Chains A and B, each alone.
Chain A
Amino acid sequence: MALSAEQSSRLAGLLTRHEEQVTQRWTEAIAGSMRGRLSQAELRRQVQDLHRGMIVASEQGVIDLDSEQASELRAVLSELSRGRARQGFSATETAVSVFALKDVLLDLMEDQSDGGALRDYVAFAALVDQMGLFTFESYVRTRESLIADQAEQLLELSTPVVKLWEGVVAVPLVGTLDSARAQVVMERLLQTLVDTGSPYAIIDITGVPAVDTQVAQHILKTVVAARLMGADCIISGIRPQIAQTIVALGIEFGDIATKASLADALRHVLRLSGVETGRRQHRREA
């Protein structure tokens, strides 16, 4: 239901006449749901911005929130919901900030007893509903972009490739391994193998909380790709529960060397590459 031109100007008049009362009651209504997490002054400023936006829009004869006249109001609303989303308020709390205006309008209009008032109120309420939905959508958008940013940051910082020894590199995997991360890990590892000319790589899965068939598939692919390039991969850091899961799922690692700890894997690699370790030297001398 859209506002007619007269309703719009009546709304503007109503809001302008009772400016102090509207902002006061609106702020109070929101403050109740916010439970003191935003300062009164901050809330008041936001409500005043909204109020001003509504007056500007309705004076220009806003028919619909999607119309061009309402662009300023939309900007204020999306600014409000962006702020709320970043401060960690829930979607309901954000939407209620807008819906609270309905109560305020009802209080104001109860005094007028002519038949047009009800019709006006329904039209105003429809506008407020639109505003509420708009707020909700911008809230969700902001949240989604936040999540996307975080996922990207996680991808960047969680896949280091470290050099353990001359010719030995290791990837300590931490966290759940999905397809996107597995791809990044694979590319980084293979590129490091080329850059450093290391013939051995150790994939340490101590930090991987669960290994299912998909994760195993990703790891196997990485190992096969490394082999194609002429490097040998060893999987280490297999915890007891993980070993049980692997066997229960029937995952075959074939002739890929697996070790319980990173230390074992490093010792294995050093033996393969013919580096003398302390223990072997002792044994030989004895």
Chain B
Amino acid sequence: MERVPILKIGDILLVSIQTDMSDQTAVQLQEDLAERIVATGCHGVIIDITALDIVDSFVGRMLSTIASISKVLDAETVVVGMRPAVAITLVELGLSLNGIRTALNVERGMELIAAARADEHDLAFDDQADADTTASS
């Protein structure tokens, strides 16, 4: 059975889907990814679908599920490299990939995750600062 490789780059896991997904491959990918997120403590997942010619409701649901799983494990998911033809087809079919963030390419996806992480850090520090000020007053 084919397995989709998961690569670790710094704080991010990169999944590049090269073949048409079967039910089994999708389930396997979800399991592998969940394990890797926990094992590595990564906070970002980038799914590259540049090679996919067709994204149907099955693949759409798989992406949504992966995003939800990652979310629970505190990792941000970004889908990158969607082809124009795929995007047009999805729009014509009325399929919107709800709750999935997208970026044009892997580079932009990494920037997006970095920015999201930075925002969270800012928030955390703000909370800390608020706590400090309340304590001191």
Contacts and interface: CB of A to CB of B under 8 A. Distances in A.
A170 to B, nearest CB: 16
A225 B82 CA distance: 10
A62 interface: no
Contacts, number: 58
A271 interface: no
B82 A229 contact: yes
Given A187-B88, A228-B97, A197 B102 contact: no
A92 B103 CA distance: 60
Contacts of A243: none
Contacts of A191: 84
Given A194-B83, A230-B109, A186 B104 contact: no
A191 B83 CA distance: 8
A197 B103 CA distance: 10
Contacts of B82: 228-230
B110 interface: no
Contact of A228 (B78, B91, B109, B112): B91
B25 interface: no
Interface residues of A, number: 18
B108 A229 contact: no
A198 B104 CA distance: 8
A68 B100 CA distance: 67
A193 interface: yes
Nearest to B103: A230
Contacts of B101: 230
12 contacts: A221-B88, A224-B91, A225-B87, A225-B88, A225-B90, A228-B82, A228-B86, A228-B97, A229-B84, A229-B104, A230-B79, A230-B101
Interface of B: 78-80, 82-84, 86-88, 90-92, 96-97, 101-105, 107-109, 112
